[in-house]
Amino acid sequence: MHSFAFCAALGPMGIYLLALGGLNLGRRPRVARGSREIAALALALSGFVAIGPMQLFLPEQAAASYGWAVWALLMLGYGLLVAMAILLSPPRLVIYNCDAGTLRPIVERLAAQLDPDAHWAGASLALPRLNVSAQLDEFALLRNVSLASVGRDQSDRGWGLVEQALRRALADVDCPRNPAGLTIIVTGLAILAIVAHKTIDDPQALAQGFFDLLRL
């Protein structure tokens, strides 16, 4: 059971780290909605949730009677919680492999094109005609910048226009590779190598742990 729990917990996280490292090693900035970032993080943590809270609060009698169907319902419930978190989260755009110094002039130019009434207040941007108010936040370690909504009454259509314009503007921007991306990739590869070693070393124990978890 321990081998399966280890692989189930760390496998999705290793894949997530490889994808995140690849984004940070690119030469082009990448734009992603905040909802996609939440979904990706939920997938990365799904193994920990399965062997942790789900297993801890697993209804034993139902599991003994219905086996894998109980786990299907638990995973469905987890998916619904993630979907609710996405729906309730405020609009946000994440720009990977780009710093605030590079992004702000681009956003200023786009804001003037999208809304003549656009104005800045420190790191906050208001586009009144589009019903968009955002704040520029930088995560310097990973060289990521986010445009996070500020206040209520945000327009989904307005944020969609900002996203489309930002994608077009960043398509030709060349940024240096982020060295932190290599560290993230190496960490992801190390995790997946350990998972692969445990899988190859004792596949029967891994399969038995899987069947024990499903109560089959």
The predicted pLDDT at position 65 comes to 67
The predicted pLDDT at position 102 comes to 86
CA distances from 122 to 40, 92, 136, 143, 148 (A): 31, 18, 9, 20, 14
Residue 216: pLDDT over 70: no
Residue 191: pLDDT over 80: yes
The predicted pLDDT at position 152 comes to 79
Query: Considering the entire predicted model, what is its pTM?
Result: 0.81
The predicted pLDDT at position 215 comes to 59
- Pairwise CA distance, residues 151 & 148, whole Å: 10
Q: What would the pLDDT profile of 84-129 be if each residue is shown by its tens digit?
A: 999 998 999 999 988 888 889 999 999 999 999 988 888 888 999 9
Q: Where are the domains of the chain?
A: 2-170
Residue 63: pLDDT over 70: no
Bridge-partner residues for 123, per DSSP? none
The predicted pLDDT at position 190 comes to 94
DSSP letters for 131-165? TEEEEEEEEGGGTEEEEEE-SS---HHHHHHHHHH
Tokens of 166: 């930002």
Q: What would the pLDDT profile of 122-158 be if each residue is shown by its tens digit?
A: 888 899 999 999 999 888 778 889 999 988 778 889 9
Q: What would the pLDDT profile of 22-55 be if each residue is shown by its tens digit?
A: 888 888 888 999 999 999 999 999 988 888 887 7
Q: What would the pLDDT profile of 162-183 be if each residue is shown by its tens digit?
A: 999 999 998 888 888 888 889 9
**Sorting pLDDT into bands at 50, 70 and 90, what band is 67?**
low
**Sorting pLDDT into bands at 50, 70 and 90, what band is 15?**
very high
